[in-house]
């Protein structure tokens, strides 16, 4: 195990800047998730950590050792790819142990390591099969087994669950979390799936356009997003953005929006500079409930989406569409007028120009 320090990493392809001044410190045994949309630079950053890509500037330090000039095979890392990258003509046993074989590890030691990894991943009964005889989830376990036997300082995962169906993704996500808790190996994990990020990471780096928008614990990312991009990218359904003018009255802080007034639970004096100005209120769908009052939004029900355990209700509030995640029995009629009470303590306010959280 080892710490990981990413220091002022930059990467350009010609005039196109892919990564811009990336800085991350990951503790020994930590789990860093690089999260963002396609093209944000997360896979490029992973490749630079692995040594598969050279940076245009900055340093990668693993376990206190600067590895910029060190060949990938000498960095003591193990990588799990999206495509599994298994040898089709080799048995599972040899696929898992092939890296050790190339490093001239003795047969007995190699067999012991392979068996231990197979037992940990519950694939001992598959050791004599070929990859073509395995399911997608089993192939991913083999790829993980190949990484585990190397006993690396650092695990790197490049969207390892993207090729799996929804049920297998949940199972493998749980498996990866269990393995991390058991092995305690420092891990960097690339994904565009926010559920994977929030459930797996001890730190999450939300990226956009080659820049880290926010680096924090998953709960902080969710509850206190740094800007509107993070707020909108995290959560399903996505955060509602309600525009209005901020005002103070005897009753406290208010948001005057197109369909009325919303009383805010906000005493932070930092907002004084925004009183009388337009702001954007970020309201998560799960913080809305059926009800009326001073902390409520009213409008016409536009769309209803039953999902089984939840009902997604889209309400037109003065021309702004607000989605609420309600219980399965809270199902209004389309076109009806509906009032939604708001957990105002969970509202985040944003500057409409910069997008930053106030």
Q: What is the pLDDT of residue 250?
A: 75
Q: How far is CA 256 from CA 99, 279, 314, 341, in A?
A: 63, 10, 20, 16
| Helix (H) or strand (E) run with residue 140 in it | helix 136-148
Residue 102 CB-density burial (10 A; 0-12 exposed, 13-18 middle, 19+ buried): exposed
Summarised one tens digit per residue, pLDDT across range 141-154 is 999 999 999 889 99
Q: Is residue 269's pLDDT more than 90?
A: no
* DSSP class of 327: -
* DSSP class of 205: E
User: CB of 284 within 8 A of CB of 236?
Assistant: no
Q: What is the pLDDT of residue 295?
A: 78
Residue 227's DSSP bridge partners are 356
Of 349 and 164, the one with more pLDDT: 349
Q: How far is CA 57 from CA 10, 20, 115, 195, 220, in A?
A: 5, 10, 42, 32, 30
CATH value of 4-233 in 3.10.20.740, 3.40.50.300, 3.30.450.20, 3.30.70.141 = 3.40.50.300
Q: How far is CA 78 from CA 52, 143, 171, in A?
A: 12, 10, 22
Q: What percent of the chain has pLDDT over 70?
A: 98
User: CA 237 to CA 89: how far, in whole Å?
Assistant: 44
| Residue among 351, 355, 346 at smallest CA distance from 283 | 346
**Taking the chain, what is the end-to-end CA distance rounded to the nearest angstrom?**
39
What would the CATH number be for the domain defined by 240-350? 2.40.50.140
Q: Is residue 268's pLDDT more than 60?
A: no
Give the pair of three-digit tokens for residue 119. Answer: 């037992």
Task: Output the CA angle 224-227-228, nearest 5 degrees.
Answer: 110
Summarised one tens digit per residue, pLDDT across range 107-144 is 999 999 999 999 999 999 999 999 999 998 899 999 99
Q: Is residue 1's pLDDT more than 90?
A: no
Q: What is the pLDDT of residue 266?
A: 63
| Average pLDDT estimate for 250-255 | 82
Summarised one tens digit per residue, pLDDT across range 71-82 is 999 999 999 988
Give the pair of three-digit tokens for residue 93. Answer: 């046993």
| Average pLDDT estimate for 346-358 | 95
User: CB of 182 within 8 A of CB of 1?
Assistant: no
Q: Is residue 267's pLDDT more than 90?
A: no
Q: Do domains 4-233 and 240-350 have the same CATH topology?
A: no
Summarised one tens digit per residue, pLDDT across range 53-66 is 999 999 999 999 99
Q: What percent of the chain has pLDDT over 90?
A: 81
Q: What is the pLDDT of residue 163?
A: 84
User: CA 323 to CA 317: how far, in whole Å?
Assistant: 10
pLDDT band at 196; cut points 50, 70, 90: very high
Q: For the chain, what is the radius of gyration of the CA atoms?
A: 24
Summarised one tens digit per residue, pLDDT across range 6-32 is 999 999 999 999 999 999 999 999 999
Give the pair of three-digit tokens for residue 97. Answer: 């142990």
The strand pair at 337-342 and 278-283 is best described as unpaired
pLDDT band at 166; cut points 50, 70, 90: confident
Per-domain boundaries in the chain: 4-233, 240-350
Q: Is residue 331's pLDDT more than 90?
A: no
User: CB of 347 within 8 A of CB of 358?
Assistant: no
Q: Is residue 278's pLDDT more than 70?
A: yes
């Amino acid at each position: 195990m080892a710490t990981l320090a990413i220091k002022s990493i930059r990467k350009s392809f010609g005039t196109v800047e892919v990564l811009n001044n990336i800085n991350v410190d990951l503790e020994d045994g930590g789990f860093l998730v690089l999260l963002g949309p396609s093209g944000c630079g997360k896979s490029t950053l992973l490749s630079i950590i692995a040594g598969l890509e050279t940076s245009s500037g900055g340093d990668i330090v693993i376990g206190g050792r600067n590895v910029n000039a060190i060949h990938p095979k000498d960095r003591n890392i193990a990588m799990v790819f999206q495509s599994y990258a298994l040898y089709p003509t080799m048995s599972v046993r040899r696929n898992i142990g092939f890296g050790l074989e190339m490093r001239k590890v003795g047969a007995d030691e190699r067999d012991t390591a392979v068996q231990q990894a197979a037992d940990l991943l519950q694939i001992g009964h598959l050791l004599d099969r070929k990859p073509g005889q395995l399911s997608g989830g089993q192939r991913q376990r083999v790829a993980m087994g190949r990484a585990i036997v190397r006993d690396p300082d650092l695990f790197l995962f490049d969207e390892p669950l993207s090729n799996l169906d929804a049920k297998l993704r949940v199972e493998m996500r749980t498996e990866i979390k269990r393995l991390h808790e058991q092995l305690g190996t420092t891990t960097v994990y690339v994904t565009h799936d926010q559920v994977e990020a929030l459930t797996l990471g001890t730190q999450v780096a939300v990226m956009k356009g080659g820049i880290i928008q926010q680096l924090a614990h998953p709960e902080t990312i969710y509850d206190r997003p740094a800007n509107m991009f993070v707020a909108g990218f995290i959560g399903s359904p996505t955060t509602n953005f309600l525009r209005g003018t901020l005002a103070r009255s005897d009753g406290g802080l208010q948001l005057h929006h197109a369909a009325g007034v919303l009383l805010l639970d906000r005493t932070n004096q930092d907002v004084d500079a925004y009183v009388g100005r337009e702001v954007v209120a970020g309201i998560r769908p799960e913080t809305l409930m059926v009800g009326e009052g001073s902390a409520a939004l009213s409008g016409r029900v536009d769309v209803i989406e039953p999902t089984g355990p939840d009902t997604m209700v889209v309400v037109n509030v003065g021309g702004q569409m607000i989605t609420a995640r309600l219980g399965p029995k809270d199902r209004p009629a389309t076109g009806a007028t509906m009032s939604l009470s708001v957990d105002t303590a969970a509202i985040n306010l944003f500057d409409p120009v910069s997008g930053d959280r106030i």
